[in-house]
Chain A
Amino acid sequence: MDRRKFLKSQIGGAAALSLGATGLLKPSALFGAEFPDIAAVKGGPGPATRAAVQALGGMGRFVKTGQKVVIKPNMSFPRGPDSGTTTHPEVVKELAVMCREQGAARIQVLDNPLAPSEQCLENSGIREICQALDRNMVRMIEKGRQFDKVNIPKGKAMRETEIMQDVLGADVLIAAPVAKSHSSGGVSLSLKGMMGLIYNRGVMHWRYDLSTAIVDLNTVLTPALVVIDATRVLSSGGPGGPGTVIKANTIIASTDRVAADAFTVSSFEWYGRHYQPGQVPHILEASQRGLGRMDVENLSVEHLTV
């Protein structure tokens, strides 16, 4: 699949989702009604990840033989899993194993950190655990030549950006963020996490309104599957910590990233209080602009424990 095709499919997916969000169609109806909108599984990071994806129909629904997959965890802080700032290594590994079971041709785990990349790769534990599968699976992409300029036709504020070539060349994108608070975005989940795949993030802060720019970015980067690692929730002090870490032992999965993020916001306390998804400006705007649904009370949620 070339870049043009990738973008077309991404835009198509976004359009389908926006159609769903208008209420004309239920997202569940798009993919067949047998799957829940959201799967929330309690258990250990690895088994809960597998069970959550199974509940949505299994990895085979998203990854076909011979496809190239990019998994986007959060691994941009030089801290260990206990800090709640990065995705649990076992979540990432389990996703990679499931992709491999489906016969994926290439699986990459990518991020663009702010801290020294070697320290992030080392301390997050993600590189080490994935090395058993493929030595080069986990990489940090930081250099300008590894990104390509992409137009954002549906961007309200940000009309272009530079995205990792490896992401543009991939068939399937899987978002695997950790659930954490974010001192300027409120929370950093799957929508906010897409900022880790582009070159120039600073511009999203200074030139545009951050929430609008996050939504703009998400009109071109559309993960087929969102798996939010809420095994540990960094409830305050995010994104870098230290902060209150809630041991929630939960994996939240959905094909609708807005729903996944919204459900995560409403499921846990942030700074010791409960918040509505609409109190996070970028989730509100994403739902208003039709990227997905944040009315979690109307969505079907399958709760499981493994």
Chain B
Amino acid sequence: MSLRRVVQLFTLALFLLCLLLAAGSIAPRGLNFFLRLDPALAALTLVSGRYVTWSLLPAVVIVALTLIAGRLFCGYICPMGTTIDGTDKLLGARKGPGPADRLGRVKHLVLAFLLGAGLVGVSYVFAAAPLSLITRLYGLVAQPVLALTADRGLALVPISSGVEIDTPRFASQLFVVVFFVLVFGLARFAPRFWCRVLCPAGALMALLSRKPLIRRRVSEDCTACGLCARSCPMGAIDQEAPERTRHGECIVCQTCRDVCPVEAIDFGAGVSGDRPDEIFLPARRQFLAVGLAGAGLAAVNLTGLPTLTGQPGPGRVKPDLLRPPAALPEADFLRRCARCGECMTACPTNTLQPAGLAAGLAALFSPTVTPRLGFCDPACHRCADVCPTEAIRRVPMGERVWARIGIAVIEPGRCLAWEMDKSCLVCDEVCPFDAIELVQEESHTVAVPRVSEDKCAGCGYCEHACPIESRAAIRVSPMGALRPARGSHAAQARAQGLSLIPAAKRRRTPAATQSGQAAPGFTPAESDKPAPGFTR
């Protein structure tokens, strides 16, 4: 096995290990490292998000590496590239000249499109940035399948009875699966078709590696047999003049060097006397036109009904998206979120789900809290720990508790106590904030729940545990969510008169019951009951 394969497999294994550790809730920090390497994800997010951060420094390192040694990232590090190498081998990618040779410029147009949308303030990074795509594939599709397989496997082992592996479940998987079937299927036209023709990170790095310091060199021994050009998976070598290299297309895999019968090829410090290389660049006009198209679609997106303006009140039509705790204000959040799915992979209760198209194209795959599936543990902030773009703010745990994501609202018509007069208190029992009180109302024989809005953080324990099947009788609505872009959640919450203190730390005690009134759950004594027609 060549050195390159070893490096590729090692980096892919490392990438998968990071994802698995995130999914297993083992080491929360730094697991998003690979996402922060992606130059397209970084550059486009900085444009659409209009911010600067140190956390994307790894991408700058990749940019510097590309200036020095070309697209090493594509050839050695990118898990998407490695995965495509694998599927290309499996599917038997077409060798030799093909349509991909003429389409190299398309990736620059993809980049232009995303850039145009980013300038308008809409992030379509999720649709093309390789690390966003591949993290979603492995995190939201492959990982649950692996967990399911392992669990079913365990069930077959008699001595392991009782041991179960939780299988996470995710919405919108079909989008991801279909997308990747198409990407992998492109092997029919050329190896690494995605990387050559479509990848915006590839485009960015192609621009930077037109004349890298270390590059492919061809000596005078070359017999122009053309074997290297036919073997190059990237189509980076001129078929007519194999001594000429399109360095921007070269991923330094060194296949050409290995196949050369006369050993005329090596990689080293470039000579300034190299002949100028042709590169795939679209005409400026084309670049501008496609950029404008991106900006146009972004503008259309912003006028779509599902687009959340971030403003509460009557302008808010739909959808009712619950965002992870301490997410930035909606508009900023969507500009930054790369939809990589890392937060959903890492979420220990599986409550974070990718939004479907109902939330609008601009919110596709963005994370939403889904309490029916899992509560959002107030003592957990793994989503923020793994977010590569800080779309979910990393705040101290003392602050995290105050990052309210909504308010629980009871639907009395579905509630066992309110509507069916059955004793139930599950919402009260599970509430970690003591925000639900069971009160004995004159109209009911059983105690009925009421929500104290000022104590509710919207964590969704109640909605999750409500015994009513399908739609719960108590549900978290995003109203009242606290999502300051900067500053303290706790200070803002206190200023609003909220008291989001975990029940374990609360010192309030319920008032003693009045005479003539039974404590919740007790039957009133005969002497307490008023005579017929009398009130208490």
A: residues with CB less than 8 A from B are 78-80, 83, 114-116, 119, 123, 143-146, 165, 181-187, 201-203, 205-206, 209-211, 236-237, 239-244, 270-273, 275-276, 278-281, 284
CB of A279 within 8 A of CB of B422, answer: no
The residue of chain B having its C-beta at the shortest distance from the C-beta of A245 within the complex is B509
8 Å CB contact of A239 from B429, B432, B468, B512: B429
Interchain CA distance A33-B519 in the complex, whole Å? 37
Contacts of B422 in A (CB 8 A): 205-206, 209-210
Interchain CA distance A188-B320 in the complex, whole Å? 37
CB of A206 within 8 A of CB of B416, answer: yes
The residue of chain A having its C-beta at the shortest distance from the C-beta of B464 within the complex is A114
Interchain CA distance A116-B468 in the complex, whole Å? 21
Interchain CA distance A263-B415 in the complex, whole Å? 33
CB of A181 within 8 A of CB of B521, answer: yes
CB of A145 within 8 A of CB of B424, answer: no
Interchain CA distance A83-B507 in the complex, whole Å? 10
Interchain CA distance A186-B521 in the complex, whole Å? 4
CB of A237 within 8 A of CB of B523, answer: no
CB of B519 within 8 A of CB of A241, answer: no
CB of B504 within 8 A of CB of A79, answer: yes
**Chain A nearest Cβ from B515, distance in angstroms:** 7
CB of A114 within 8 A of CB of B515, answer: no
CB of A210 within 8 A of CB of B504, answer: no
CB of A182 within 8 A of CB of B162, answer: no
CB of B465 within 8 A of CB of A114, answer: yes
Main secondary structure of the interface of B (DSSP, over half): loop
CB of B438 within 8 A of CB of A165, answer: no
Contacts of A185 in B (CB 8 A): 423, 425, 521
Contact with A along B519-532 (1 / 0, CB 8 A): 11111110000000
CB of B468 within 8 A of CB of A183, answer: no
Contacts of B285 in A (CB 8 A): none
Contact (A237, B510) CB under 8 Å given A184-B438, A202-B467:
yes
Contacts of B93 in A (CB 8 A): none
For the complex, is B408 an interface residue (Cβ under 8 Å from A)? no
CB of B509 within 8 A of CB of A184, answer: no
Question: For chains A and B in complex, what number of residue pairs have CB atoms within 8 angstroms?
Answer: 143
Contacts of A183 in B (CB 8 A): 425, 428-429, 437-438, 447, 520-521
Contacts of A78 in B (CB 8 A): 432, 504
The residue of chain B having its C-beta at the shortest distance from the C-beta of A83 within the complex is B504
CB of A184 within 8 A of CB of B423, answer: yes
8 Å CB contact of B519 from A114, A143, A165, A186: A186
Interchain CA distance A30-B227 in the complex, whole Å? 97
CB of A115 within 8 A of CB of B430, answer: yes
The residue of chain B having its C-beta at the shortest distance from the C-beta of A209 within the complex is B422
Contacts of B379 in A (CB 8 A): 119
CB of A241 within 8 A of CB of B503, answer: yes
Interchain CA distance A247-B477 in the complex, whole Å? 40
**Chain B nearest Cβ from A244, distance in angstroms:** 5
CB of A279 within 8 A of CB of B523, answer: yes
In the A-B complex, the 8 residue pairs with the smallest Cβ-Cβ separation, listed nearest first, are A272-B512, A202-B467, A186-B521, A184-B425, A183-B438, A271-B519, A143-B164, A205-B424
CB of A242 within 8 A of CB of B434, answer: yes
Contact with A along B112-123 (1 / 0, CB 8 A): 000000000000
Contact (A236, B512) CB under 8 Å given A187-B521, A210-B423:
yes
Interchain CA distance A239-B465 in the complex, whole Å? 15
Interchain CA distance A301-B521 in the complex, whole Å? 27
For the complex, is B16 an interface residue (Cβ under 8 Å from A)? no
- Per the CB 8 Å criterion, the residue count for chain B at the interface is 47
CB of B504 within 8 A of CB of A275, answer: no
Please report which residues of chain B, range 154-206, place their CB below 8 angstroms from some CB of chain A when the two chains form the complex.
155, 161-164
For the complex, is B222 an interface residue (Cβ under 8 Å from A)? no
Interchain CA distance A280-B157 in the complex, whole Å? 46
**Chain B nearest Cβ from A179, distance in angstroms:** 14
**Chain A nearest Cβ from B352, distance in angstroms:** 16
The residue of chain A having its C-beta at the shortest distance from the C-beta of B160 within the complex is A145
Interchain CA distance A237-B436 in the complex, whole Å? 10
20 contacts between A and B (CB under 8 A): A79-B504, A83-B504, A143-B164, A145-B163, A181-B521, A182-B521, A183-B437, A184-B438, A184-B446, A186-B520, A203-B467, A205-B467, A206-B424, A206-B468, A210-B422, A211-B423, A236-B519, A237-B434, A244-B509, A279-B522
Contacts of A278 in B (CB 8 A): 523
Interchain CA distance A119-B461 in the complex, whole Å? 15
8 Å CB contact of B162 from A165, A206, A243: A165
Please report which residues of chain B, range 334-390, place their CB below 8 angstroms from some CB of chain A when the two chains form the complex.
377, 379
CB of A271 within 8 A of CB of B513, answer: yes
Contacts of A272 in B (CB 8 A): 512-513
Contacts of B510 in A (CB 8 A): 236-237, 243-244, 271
Interchain CA distance A110-B523 in the complex, whole Å? 31
Contacts of A209 in B (CB 8 A): 422-423
Interchain CA distance A146-B523 in the complex, whole Å? 37
Contact (A80, B423) CB under 8 Å given A114-B429, A183-B428, A183-B520:
no
Contacts of A281 in B (CB 8 A): 423, 523
CB of A202 within 8 A of CB of B426, answer: yes
For the complex, is B137 an interface residue (Cβ under 8 Å from A)? no
Contacts of A145 in B (CB 8 A): 155, 161-164
Contact with A along B292-316 (1 / 0, CB 8 A): 0000000000000000000000000
**Chain A nearest Cβ from B263, distance in angstroms:** 61
Contact (A275, B522) CB under 8 Å given A83-B504, A143-B162, A237-B510:
yes
